[in-house]
Amino acid sequence: MTHLTKDIFEQPSSTSFGLDRLQALQSFNARLVCMTVDESSYEEVVQGVFKVIACDFCALFLKDPQSNQLVLQASVGFDEMPVGLRVECDDPTSIHAQAFSEEYQVHLDDLLETPGVNPLFEEMGCSLVLPVISKQGPVGVFDFSCREPQAFSPQETSMCSMVVDQMSYSLENIRLVKELRDSRDAVIRGMAMLSEIRDSHIRGHLSRICAMSCYLSKRLSGRVGYHEVTPSFIANIERAAALHDVGKVGIPDDILLKPSGLTDDEFDVMRTHTTIGGELLEGLIDDFGEYALISMGATVARAHHERWDGQGYPHKLSGKDIPLAARIVAICDVYDALTSRRVYKEAWTHEDTMQQLRDGSGSQFDPELVEVFLSRPKELLRIRQQYPDDEISSG
């Protein structure tokens, strides 16, 4: 079906590739060394390769550890190709699957004349797919394609192989960092779930708070006065919002689970969950070092019950002295609490909840954030539908 090769070609010379290509390669190498190590780097890697290699299309696929599939991480040349596109690793018609499973480069000079091949796009005349190999073996493939057949000379093929070899180390670092982050986030989410399991007995609450905080943050991005809402801020609050009530692990059951109203003394105890949560997370930072997600989580845990008018707790902060992340989560928390059923109340309607937030705008909540939050009610309803309440069995 395909032509496999492990040939070692002579290294490209400045005469055959030109000074501009060598400079692009040098720039790419330098960028690999100093670029940020996270998933957002995949697109940067592919863009860098595209500048070095004279082809019409580049794509990076990585193996999904949870399935037998290669998943598209980034591509250049076809805007309609969606990130997340999947290729089965055992697909006999896929040159990507073959390059991955055989750990050889697959070079098809003329896709139209090669029977039994299922190209990603019919417009492609030729493709060169190389495996991306780490110390643990193949982790993915890189696709170089051109519209015209026979576009890859031996020198071009050698250059592609060189570039893929150079990027493999950086891709492995990205993968390892993601594994570490995912493991750390799983522990963090487990901490957050401890209080939720004792308190509301539902699974959906944390997911909704995180999704709504992400939604509101994205709506603030680019607005005047919200320079701190960067992609990193949005990524962190989407996870840190789950920690807002982590301090409830320190509240006695007879107060936390009381179905009727709290006495003044009991409410004083309940309010300590903000300081307990802040101190717990700050203690982790003291013990294990600074981590942006934990730092934001500590801020949110401590300040999400502060009020815009200064009548909140624990420190009676007011206005923009309240950290932005806490002001965001405060609105999302109240919206979700009101629209959710609890042991002491039925769920409010979306319309009544929106009115309650408007009534609290400028007193309990940041008025601009309330306006932005309520500007797309269909998005809020979508989030509630995506993460419904799911009773946790007591057994």
pLDDT at residue 290 greater than cutoff 50 = yes
Name residue, tokens 């290294």: 11
pLDDT at residue 46 is higher than 70: yes
- Rg of the Cα atoms in the chain: 26
Block residue for tokens 């309440």: 389
Query: Is the pLDDT confidence value at 343 over 80?
Result: no
Residue 174 above 70 pLDDT? no
pLDDT at position 1: 36
pLDDT-based confidence at residue 18 (cuts at 50, 70, 90): low
290 vs 194, 283, 297, CA distance in Å?
23, 10, 12
More confident residue, 158 or 215: 215
- Residues 104-122 as b/e (b if ≥16 CB within 10 A, e otherwise) read bbbbbeebeebeebebbee
* pLDDT range class, residue 33, cuts 50, 70, 90: very low
- Residues in contact with 148: Cβ distance below 8 Å, sequence separation at least 6, in sequence order: 125, 126
Task: Please give the Cα distance from 213 to 234 (Å, whole number).
Answer: 8
Query: Which neighbouring-strand residues pair with 140?
Result: 62, 132
| pLDDT at residue number 129 | 93
| pLDDT-derived band at 192, boundaries 50, 70, 90 | confident
Given a cut of 50, whether residue 50 has pLDDT beyond it is yes
Q: What is the mean pLDDT of residues 326-344?
A: 90
Where does 304-358 show beta strands of DSSP type E? Answer: none
Residue 395, pLDDT score? 32
What value does the mean pLDDT of the chain take?
Answer: 82
Mean pLDDT of 291-296: 88
**Residue 382 above 80 pLDDT?**
yes
User: What integer pLDDT is reported at residue 61 of this predicted model?
Assistant: 92
pLDDT at 335 over 60: yes
Residue among 178, 164, 198 nearest 41 (CA): 178
Domains of the chain in start order, with CATH, are: 4-177 (3.30.450.40), 200-386 (1.10.3210.10)
**Residue 9 confidence (pLDDT):** 31
Cβ of 66: how many Cβ atoms within 10 Å? 7
Helices 264-271 and 273-288: crossing angle, nearest 10°? 20
Averaged pLDDT, 356-374: 97
Helices (H), 200-271: 204-220, 231-240, 253-256, 264-271
Model confidence at 255: pLDDT above 60: yes
The whole-number pLDDT of residue 25 equals: 54
Cβ atoms 145, 55 nearer than 8 A: yes
Whether pLDDT at 325 is above 80? yes
> For the whole model, what pTM was predicted?
0.59
Structure confidence at residue 289 as a pLDDT band (50, 70, 90): confident
